[in-house]
Homo-oligomer: A and B are copies of this chain.
C-alpha cells in the first residue's frame, strides 16, 4: 500500500517549510517510507471529504490502507513505532523521547502560534502593536527554559529522536523572527536538525516547483 499525506497546494509561507506537513515529510524521510502527496486548496480543506480525515480541517493527514490519522505528533509517533526508528528501544528512554514530543506541541508551540495569531489574525486590531511584546516575552520565557535544559548537548536526550524532530520543527517557526539568535545553543540545535539529510529532502519536497 502507498502512504498518502495531505499538504497545502500552495503553502501560505511560500515554501519556507513552516506548515506542519514538513515535520511529517521529515519523519517519513527519516524512516525511509515512500509517500504520495494529495495537495489541497484552502476551500478543499473545509469540504466533507477532508473533514472526514481531519475534523479540524487541517493538514497534514496520513492515510495507509484503512488507517487515517490527523495530528502531526500522532502521525510521527505512528511512523516511529511502525518502522522501529526515531524512538529508543529502552522503555524509559522511549517515554522520555515521547515526553519531548508532547513538550514541543503542548509547552513550546502554543506561545509561538500565539505570535502568528498576534501578527496575522489580530494584526489589524487596535491592540496589536501594544500586545506584541507580551507575546514575545512568553516565547522568550519558554526558550530560556529550553536553552537551560539543552545546555551544550547535541540533542535533548541522547541520540536524535522523534522528540528532537518535533522540537526543531516547532522552533523553526521562529527562524524569521530572529528571536532564536538570542539563544545560541537553540539556534545551533535547530541548525543541526536542518542539516540532517532527511530534513533536507523533506524541505526540498515542499518547495513549490514553480517557485510561487
Closest Cβ neighbor of A66 among chain B residues: B92
- CB of B127 within 8 A of CB of A73, answer no
Closest Cβ neighbor of A69 among chain B residues: B99
Number of copies: 2
A174 contacts chain B at the CB level, 8 A cutoff: no
Of the listed stretches A1-9, A24-32, A54-62, chain B binds A54-62
- The verdict on A148 contacting B55 (CB below 8 Å), with A74-B102, A102-B73, A122-B134 known, is yes
Shortest Cβ distance from A156 into chain B, in angstroms? 10
A38 contacts chain B at the CB level, 8 A cutoff: no
**Chain B residues near A78 (CB, 8 Å)?**
95, 98
Scan A69-102; emit 1 where CB is below 8 A from any B CB, else 0: 1111111011001000000000110011011011
- From B75, B105, B113, B148, give the contact of A105 (CB < 8 A): B105
Residues on A facing B (Cβ under 8 Å): 51, 55-58, 66-67, 69-75, 77-78, 81, 91-92, 95-96, 98-99, 101-103, 105-107, 109-110, 113-114, 121-122, 125-127, 130-131, 134, 142, 145-146, 148-149
| 10 A–B pairs (Cβ distance < 8 Å), ordered by A | A56-B146, A67-B96, A69-B95, A70-B103, A73-B102, A77-B95, A78-B98, A102-B105, A122-B131, A122-B134
